[in-house]
Homo-oligomer: A and B are copies of this chain.
């Protein structure tokens, strides 16, 4: 542990600088002042070959080219390493670049007589607190007091590694890993590649910024309240939060280890929809339950629809009205689905009381009232960031629970889940066809201006229910189509806060994404439904 939190900051930043100093050739051509939208910088800084490698392949095509050895692993790795360095320069998304390690790994893979593994040669970027394959790996989980703390691999990454991937970059996460943005004392503020005045979301915001910059084709994030889905939605890429216990957490670093009332899950974040399926298939085909017995013993079994989907549209969550571009995206997609012959019904969630859901989940995020986490922060005196205060101190339900109080919250959680299950069952009553998925906003709007992500309801509700959820890009904010709805009268304080946040000029170039939710364990169905819906959208 460093002598002070400031010393920890210096240490980790120096280490990051050292890792970036390896980049060769150095990045050249970066403008003095960075533009608001960074996504055009690659064309200035990277070589045509690097642009080709990082832009002209879907994940399936890239894997095929690697397997057929039309591309060497090393040239792919180098292109992604350089693009990652650019992403860091533009968005501050990395905790470190794994230059030497990645090139060594690439050369090893190139040296094999035959390509092997389902991910042969694929570059994968990873969230810092998950740890890493390799000796002398450290991770801080964004706590100054853990800077430089020894960490090793985890079960999930071992699997990806065994399947031939290349880890090449580790990405930022916010303080406590519990903001829907990405800022920490150790690494500073990560910004959105499409508009640096906006957040890339969080907590897997470093991954999102990498994907938005096309500096990653597949990343790994974690989600306990939206931390995969929110950042993916804010940069217009694909993300998937599986049902708990399908992907192992074994070996990840986190606070409150052993807490179980509400759990996170790792999930894929990717440029292509098929990467979500691939990630799940690879992670599960390793039968991780043979080592981590907490997991479901459940193979990955792709689902196929044999009749048109029945989709329930949740226009809003009964608490906070989404911004106009989000409502437009909802309308565009549901219209397209209807046109394609799918059944569209409304999901009336008001009787289910998402507000109560939020009260339950926030209490269960911090059953000790935040004591452990605040202790970690206070141990070095590092400043408590506003969004940390928001999610701990400003939530009325957060308190240090007695065991009996904890049980009571778990009972409430289970009752909430049961009520939702019964409501879902009821959708089959009229026509004998149960709703397949719920289509809903991925967030109340596009990426927010920094430090404004103070409403988690659109994602966290599905963590409370442990329902799998995918996000997918739909549109971008368009001032001509998305004016402020001046007629809307907010219902509550939160609603007003969110309503007042919106004006189109703040959201230039901001992607807008939607979310698809399935029942617990219906992971494969959600991804199959996403394919159907994108087909209906003409993709």
**Chain A residues within 8 Å of B, Cβ to Cβ:** 250, 256-261, 289-294, 296-298, 367-368, 371-372, 400-404, 406-411, 414, 417-418, 420-422, 425, 465-466, 519-521
CB <8 Å contact, B297 and A520: yes
Copy count, this protein chain: 2
Are A291 and B422 interface neighbours, CB within 8 A? Answer: yes
In the complex, what distance in Å separates the CA atom of A259 from the CA atom of B371? 21
Which 8 A-B residue pairings sit nearest by Cβ, starting from the closest? A258-B407, A258-B410, A368-B403, A297-B521, A258-B411, A293-B417, A293-B421, A367-B403
Q: How far is the CA of A118 from the CA of B289 in the complex (A)?
A: 33
Set of chain B residues within 8 Å of A259, measured between Cβ atoms:
403, 407, 410
With A250-B418, A294-B417, A368-B404 known, 13 other A-B pairs at CB within 8 A are A258-B407, A258-B410, A259-B407, A260-B410, A289-B520, A291-B425, A292-B418, A293-B418, A293-B420, A293-B466, A294-B414, A367-B403, A403-B406
For A367, give the chain B residue with the smallest CB separation.
B403
Structural contact, A290 and B410, CB atoms closer than 8 A: no
User: Closest CB of chain B to A205's CB: distance in Å?
Assistant: 27
Q: Which residues of B contact A414 (CB under 8 A)?
A: 258, 294
Cα separation A298 to B299 with both chains bound (whole Å): 11
Name A412's closest neighbour in chain B (CB-CB). B258
Report Cα–Cα, A293/B414, bound state, in Å.
8
**Which residues does chain B contribute within 8 Å of A371, judged by CB atoms?**
403-404
Interface centre among A258, A417, A521 (most CB of B within 10 A): A258
Q: Which of B260, B404, B420, B521 contacts A289 (CB 8 A)?
A: B521
Closest B residue to A402 by CB, please name it: B368
CA distance A408 to B404 in the complex (A): 18
Q: Given A367-B403, A406-B258, A406-B403, decide whether A418 and B291 contact each other with a Cβ distance below 8 A.
A: yes
